[in-house]
Amino acid sequence: MHKPDIIPSQLEKDLSYSDPDRLPLLSNINPLLSKKLFDGGFTTIEAVASASIRELTSCGNFQENMALKLIEMAQKSLGIDFKSADKVLESRRSMMRLSTGVDALDDLLGGGIETGSVTEVYGEYGTGKTQIAHQLCVTSHLPCERGGITKDGKEAITCIYIDTEGSFRPERIVSMANQYSDDLNIKSILKHILHGRAYNSDHQMILTERIMREAPLRNVKLLIIDSLITHFRAEYVGRETLASRQQKLNQHLHSLLRLAEIYNLAIILTNQVQTAPDTFFGDPTTPVGGHILAHSTHTRIYLRKSKGERRIARIIDSPMLPENEVVFAITTNGLKDVF
């Protein structure tokens, strides 16, 4: 993957203060090895534990057996092994639920958007994908008991908004945050939302890798990519490029899944739809990205337009939620329930 020749965005500047000494890496390995891992983007024990042998060997002159040893050491120190279902249940309790600010939609999602997982929001233009993304940047800063993911309302979390279409609007964040002005300091939340404009698919992937490095330092708890496939679609045109596009997209999604799991992040991906011309019954629209995306997201929310400001949200293919839909409205102050 070549590094695109571009001006660093604000997000890159904000993330550029890396310091290997501040990172809790494997304590009993030699500092040279530790530095090599850091430079290759493996800045925490979790990142090493979830890496593949190939990723470690390609990050910096490690032999395969050394890579395997490092991965085993990291996994051992984190106690990664088979777990009984009751232990899995216990660890799922550390998962938090992020409110969308719409009670009906939260109920549909079983209490809100899960941390530690990847949620895809797809629909036609103007259905509210970007609006949901903005609103989550606001609600995530609320204390847990008010639907946010800021523990005890103390330690500030950071949201990262990777913007591939230039649709991020801080003014919209402000008007959405106004309704929570009793609980939120708007100036402070604007400081904790990092915006990164991704100019092409390589850049989008590089930004994701950097977040992998910096997530624990900045307490990143929400990552939004609006929208996931725009660049991939524009750069890979024609049937003959489909396989390489899907391979690259797969690699990107794999990094995102890992990021969500190891740092208990909520990841929201927005996605466009395409019309399947051979559909005779039912809704002919399907999300772009094919099976790879379907297998890589945990929850899929399909948005449709209804009358005026009203929109319909439907849960699709969830492993634990029934397929159902609700209506909500996009208002000047953000997304609202409809009564």
State the residues that interact with ligand ATP by CB under 6 A: 123, 125-131, 167, 272, 330-332
Cβ closer to ligand ATP: 280 or 339? 339
CB 174 within 8 A of CB 138: no
Cβ closer to Mg ion: 164 or 297? 164
Per partner kind, with CB cut-offs from 5 to 8 A, the member of Mg ion, ligand ATP, none near residue 126 is ligand ATP
From residue 143 to residue 182, the character string flagging contacts with Mg ion as x (rule: CB under 5 A) and all else as - is: ------------------------x---------------
Per partner kind, with CB cut-offs from 5 to 8 A, the member of ligand ATP, Mg ion, none near residue 123 is ligand ATP
Cβ closer to Mg ion: 64 or 124? 124
Task: Enter the DSSP assignment of 112.
Answer: S
Per partner kind, with CB cut-offs from 5 to 8 A, the member of Mg ion, ligand ATP, none near residue 57 is none
Number of residues that bind Mg ion (CB under 5 A): 3
Answer positive or negative: Cα dihedral of 191, 192, 194, 195.
Answer: negative
Per partner kind, with CB cut-offs from 5 to 8 A, the member of Mg ion, ligand ATP, none near residue 139 is none
Virtual CA dihedral for 39, 45, 51, 55, nearest 10 degrees?
A: 20
d(CA 169, CA 181): 19
d(CA 174, CA 47): 35
Q: Min. distance of Cβ 157 from ligand ATP in angstroms? A: 23
Q: Min. distance of Cβ 319 from ligand ATP in angstroms? A: 25
Q: Please identify which residue in the block is written with the tokens 């995102």.
A: 256
Q: What is the CA radius of gyration of the chain?
A: 20
204 binds Mg ion (CB under 5 A): no
Q: Min. distance of Cβ 165 from Mg ion in angstroms? A: 6
130 binds Mg ion (CB under 5 A): yes
Beta strands 299-305 and 325-331, pairing class: unpaired
Q: Please identify which residue in the block is written with the tokens 């777990």.
A: 83
Q: Min. distance of Cβ 227 from Mg ion in angstroms? A: 6
Cβ closer to ligand ATP: 157 or 303? 303
Q: Min. distance of Cβ 100 from ligand ATP in angstroms? A: 13
Rounded to 5 degrees, φ, ψ at 79 are 70, 35
H/E element holding 119? strand 117-123
d(CA 165, CA 189): 22
Cβ closer to ligand ATP: 9 or 130? 130
* Neighbouring C-beta atoms of residue 254, cutoff 10 Å: 13
Cβ closer to Mg ion: 34 or 227? 227
Picking from 79, 86, 92, the residue whose alpha carbon sits closest to that of residue 298 is 92
Rounded to 5 degrees, φ, ψ at 217 are -70, -35
Q: Min. distance of Cβ 121 from ligand ATP in angstroms? A: 8
Cβ closer to ligand ATP: 50 or 164? 164
Which residues make up the interface to Mg ion (CB under 5 A)? 129-130, 167
